[in-house]
Structure 1
Amino acid sequence: MKLQKIGLSALISILAALTVGEFRFIPNSQFKIINSQALAQTQAQRKAEADRLLDQGIEQYQISQFQAALQSWQQALIIYREIKDRQREGWVLGNLGIAYGKLGHYAKPIEYQQQSLAIAREIKDRQSEGKALGNLGIAYYSLGDYAKAIEYQQQLLAITREIKDRQSEGATLGNLGIAYLSLGDYAKAIKYAQQQLAIAREIKNRQSEGAALENLGIAYDFLGDYAKAIEYAQQQLAIAREIKNRQSEGGALGSLASAYRNLGDYAKAIEYAQQQLAIAPEIKGRHNSITALGNLGIAYLFLGDDAKAIEYAQQQLAIAREIKDRQSEGGALGSLGIAYLFLGDYAKAIEYAQQQLAIAREIKDRQSEGGALG
C-alpha cells in the first residue's frame, strides 16, 4: 500500500515592514487588495503546515508509529478541508485508512478509503482513484470478503491498463490471483499469476516475478501437481536469494517443504522447513515461523516421531495465539489432535479436535471443519 507523498515548499516568511508617519484613511479598493494579500499569505501558511503534517505522518508510519501518524494526518485533514484542497484531502483520507488497518481496525479503513475514492472521482484524479480502489480491495480481502476484494481489484486493473501503468497492472493481477487462490478457484489464480509473471519479466521486475512464481507454486500445490509446485518454488527461491529478499526466500522454502511433505519425502520436507525456521527471525512478522513449525510437526508426525511432532505443534500453537492468527491456531490444534490420536490418547485427541472445530466454524474454514469432524 503506497502512501501519498509530496515535497514541502519552503515556509513563507511574513515580515511586515512598519513605517512611522501620520495616520490616513485607505480607500476601500486599496483595503480590499491588502486584505486579499493577507488572506493569500494565511492560506499559504496553512497549506505549508498541512504539508508538513502530511510528511511527518508518513515518516511516523514508516517507523511503525501508527498512532502518531494518525494524529498528524487528522490535523492535516482539518487544514486541507479548511483551505478546500480536495486532492490532498483525498490523499490524507487514504493514508488514514491504511493506518487504521495497521492498528487492527476493520470498518474504519473501508470508511476512509470510500471517502478518498469519492474525492478522486469528483476531481477526476485517476491515479488516486486507482490507489483508493486497490486499498479497498486489500481491506475487503483482510475481512475475508474475497468477492468484494476481486470487484475492487478488477476496477483498479481497468485503470492501470487505461493509464498504461504496467508495474501497477502486474501488482493488481497478482492480488487478483491471491484472491482467487483464497476462493479455491485455482484455474483463475493460475491465469492471473501467469499474466503477472509475463509483465514482470517484460519490465524486468524481479520482485514481482518472484511473487508470481510463488502464487503459481501454491496453486499447483493445492491442485496436487507437486512437480510443478516444486519447479515454481525453486525458481522463486533462486530469485529471492539473488535479490536478497528474505521474506520471499522464507515463502519459497515453506512451499518446497509443503510440496515434498505432500509427496511423502519427509526428509526433504524437514530440510526445507528447518532452513525456513532458521531465517524466520530475520523476517518481520512471525508467520514464517508458524509455517515452518507446522511443516516440521506434520513431517515428524508421518515419520512416526510423535514426541517431536507434538513439540513443534505446541510451538506453532503458542505463536499463533500470540499473534492472533486463528487459521494457524486451528492448524496447530489439528496436528496435536492427530498426534495424540496416533499415541492412543483419545481424550486429548478429542479435546484438540473440538477446539479446532470451534475455530474452523468461527472463521468459516470448511476444509478445516471437515478435518476436525473426521
Structure 2
Amino acid sequence: MKRCFHSFSARILSVAMGVLPLVSLVSLVTYADRSLAGDLNRQLAIPLNSGTLSQVRKAGDRWMMAGDRQQQQGQMEAAIESWQKALELYRRVVDQEAQGLVYRRLAKAYLELGRPIESEDAARRALGFARTLNDYQNQILGYNDVGLLLMKRDPSEAERSFAEGVRIATVLKDTPGLGTSLSNWGLAAKATGQYAAAIERLQKGLPYQRIALDFAGESRSYQGLGESYFALGEYQKAAGNYISALVLARQSKQHQVAFQALEGLAMAYDRLGANNAAIEALLDRVRLAGRTLEPVQVVEALQTIAEYYYQKKDWAMTDRVYEQAIQIAEANQLDKDLPQLRKSLENLRNEFYFRRVRQ
C-alpha cells in the first residue's frame, strides 16, 4: 500500500518514541497471508489407503508418512525426496488420488522453500488429478491454490482461477469453499484495481467465512476491504474495516495481517485528520512486532516513523529513529536491511549538514 502521510504531530510522536526501549529480538520466519502453505493441512486430511493395498502401495504410504515426519521436523528437502519416492510408487499402481495428495504436499513444500515455479507446477498437477477423478471438493481447493500462486505473476489469470472455484462451490453449496473463493476472487480484483468489484465480492464472502469460523480468512477479507475503500478515498469506511481486520488478526494470530492493518489504520486516520490516533497505530505496530519477536517488522515500523519525521522536517528525530532501527537490525543480524538504513541515515546527515552550511 502506498504510504502517504502528511501531517503528523511531532510533539506527540516524540513523547511516545521516548518511551520505546531499544530491544534485542530474535529473527523468526514471517507469516505468509492465506496461502497454500497455510491451507494444505486441511486439504491433506484424506485417507491414504484408498485403492489396492499392494506391497507397492504400502511402500508408497511409508514414504509418504516419512515425508510428513520430516516436514514436521523442518527437514523440507528430505521430505521432498521422500514424497518423490512415494509418488513414483503410486504411479506404478496407478493410484491417482494418492498422486494428487503427494503433489499438494510438494506444492506446499516448494512454496515454503521459495520455489514458486515448482510449487505452481505441483499445484496444477494436483488440480489435474482432482478434475480427472471428478473430485469437486478438491477442485475448489485446487483452483484457489493455483490462483494464490498466480497472484503476483498474473493477477488477471489468478482472478479467473478463483472465479472457477466460486462457480464450483456455488453448485455444491460448499460454505467454506464459497468463503475462501469469494474472498480470493475479491482480493484478485483489488490487485487489478477493480475496487468496486473487490468490495462486492469480499462483502459477499464474509458471511460464509463467519459460518465456517474462518477467522484468519475473515481478517484478510476485512484488510482487503480496508485497502479498497482507502483507494476509493472513503477513509472512514477504510478505518472501520482495518479495525475489524486487526481484531480478527489478533484473535487468529495472523501477525502479518495485523501489521498491515495497523499501518493502513494509521494512514486512514491521517487522512481523516486524527493525527494522535494515527501515531498511536504506528506505535502499536512497533509494540506488536516486539511482542511477537519479529525484528524485521520492528525495523520496518521504525523506518515508516522516520519517514514521517522527515516529511515534517524534524531532522533530529528522524536521525534518532534511524539510529534505533540500525541498532535493532545490528543486534538481530538483519544484514539485508542494514545497508539501506545506513544509507538513509548518511543521506539525512549530509542533507542536514548542507542545509546548515547554506544558512
TM normalised by structure 1 equals 0.69
SS of the equivalent of 2:233 reads: coil
The answer to whether 1:160 aligns with 2:193 is no
Match of 1:228 among 228, 237, 244: 237
1:237 positional shift: 2.9
**Separation in structure 1 between the aligned mates of residue 321 and residue 73 of structure 2, nearest angstrom:** 33
Once the two structures are superposed, residues 73-102 of structure 1 have per-residue CA deviations (whole angstroms, 9 ceiling, x without a partner) of 111111111121111112212221221122
The answer to whether 1:57 aligns with 2:67 is yes
- 259 and 165 in structure 1: CA distance in 2 versus 1, 3 angstrom threshold: same
- 339 and 216 in structure 1: CA distance in 2 versus 1, 3 angstrom threshold: farther
SS of the equivalent of 1:167 reads: helix
The answer to whether 1:173 aligns with 2:173 is no
Q: Is the 1:73–1:96 Cα contact (8 Å) retained in structure 2?
A: yes
SS of the equivalent of 2:158 reads: helix
- Which structure is richer in relative contact order (CA contacts within 8 A, separation 6 or more)? 2
- 248 and 159 in structure 1: CA distance in 2 versus 1, 3 angstrom threshold: same
The answer to whether 1:188 aligns with 2:197 is yes
Residue 140 of structure 2 aligns with which residue?
A: 130
Unaligned segments of structure 1, at least 5 residues? 10-39, 347-374
- 168 and 8 in structure 1: CA distance in 2 versus 1, 3 angstrom threshold: closer
What amino acid maps onto 2:132 in structure 1? Answer: E
Residue 98 of structure 2 aligns with which residue?
A: 88
Match of 1:111 among 88, 105, 121: 121
CA RMSD of aligned residues (A): 3.6
- 64 and 104 in structure 1: CA distance in 2 versus 1, 3 angstrom threshold: same
Once the two structures are superposed, residues 197-247 of structure 1 have per-residue CA deviations (whole angstroms, 9 ceiling, x without a partner) of 232334454433332222111211222222111112223333344555544
What amino acid maps onto 2:217 in structure 1? Answer: S
What amino acid maps onto 2:188 in structure 1? Answer: A
**Separation in structure 2 between the aligned mates of residue 259 and residue 334 of structure 1, nearest angstrom:** 29
Once the two structures are superposed, residues 161-209 of structure 1 have per-residue CA deviations (whole angstroms, 9 ceiling, x without a partner) of 2222211211122212222222222112211111122323344544333
SS of the equivalent of 1:84 reads: coil
**Separation in structure 2 between the aligned mates of residue 100 and residue 278 of structure 1, nearest angstrom:** 33
Q: How does 1:1-374 map onto structure 2 within 5 Å?
A: 1=36, 2-3=40-41, 4-7=44-47, 44-142=54-152, 144-242=153-251, 245-283=254-292, 288-289=297-298, 292-309=301-318, 312=321, 315=325, 343=352
TM normalised by structure 2 equals 0.72
**Separation in structure 1 between the aligned mates of residue 350 and residue 157 of structure 2, nearest angstrom:** 40
- 50 and 345 in structure 1: CA distance in 2 versus 1, 3 angstrom threshold: farther
Q: Is the 2:48–2:98 Cα contact (8 Å) retained in structure 1?
A: no
Q: Using the aligned pairs only, state the percent identity.
A: 28
What amino acid maps onto 1:124 in structure 2? Answer: N
Q: Is the 2:141–2:177 Cα contact (8 Å) retained in structure 1?
A: no
What amino acid maps onto 2:288 in structure 1? Answer: I
- 289 and 166 in structure 1: CA distance in 2 versus 1, 3 angstrom threshold: farther
Q: Is the 1:5–1:58 Cα contact (8 Å) retained in structure 2?
A: no
Q: Is the 2:266–2:279 Cα contact (8 Å) retained in structure 1?
A: yes
Unaligned segments of structure 2, at least 5 residues? 1-35
Once the two structures are superposed, residues 14-48 of structure 1 have per-residue CA deviations (whole angstroms, 9 ceiling, x without a partner) of xxxxxxxxxxxxxxxxxxxxxxxxxx8xx533322
Q: Is the 1:76–1:92 Cα contact (8 Å) retained in structure 2?
A: yes
What amino acid maps onto 1:134 in structure 2? Answer: N
Paired positions, count? 308
